[in-house]
Structure 1
């Protein structure tokens, strides 16, 4: 939860680096919190408000998820523009996943100094 809140504090900060832990914990908690409205749909209470909650949460998480992804790419020594590889059909998403799973650069790179390499 600490990493999720840390990423939200850097809501639209595209500079700097994000460790693997920060990125994957943010992603995990984002998916968990996105599932909460679906639980309301299955319980059949508050069904009218669940789609609204889903859309509001998705809209609120666009910038933080993009920012933490760009910072994660910076941590591996790549430009944030590598995110656009995601739009290549079939192979793009797999390629981006591989880039996001790579180890951090141990030394300082052009994006920031190494503070928490993992």
Structure 2
């Protein structure tokens, strides 16, 4: 019984912390939405974060010892960019990239 309460409390605390980090900026910055710095961050920060995540993904997830070095991560990455430029739908782009990455990893398609 004590273990279930501990796990439940942990999940509740994690959910509250996650929710708070999403809500706090809106609560405290709603008066400053016209500020040039906020507009600048809103325009350029998402692309910068995505570039950082892509760089980390390629560095850590790609197998650079294959006959086509890094292709197991570069192909899904290029598919994400291509689908996003074609359709403009982030959810579809992420789904296609995830599916193609999992196919290459699970089937070993590029490993040979």
The TM-score range, normalised by the shorter chain, is 0.3 to 0.5
TM-score by length of 2: 0.36
- Structure (1 or 2) with the larger CA radius of gyration: 2
| Structure with the higher fraction of residues in helix conformation | 2
Q: Normalization by structure 1: what TM-score?
A: 0.35
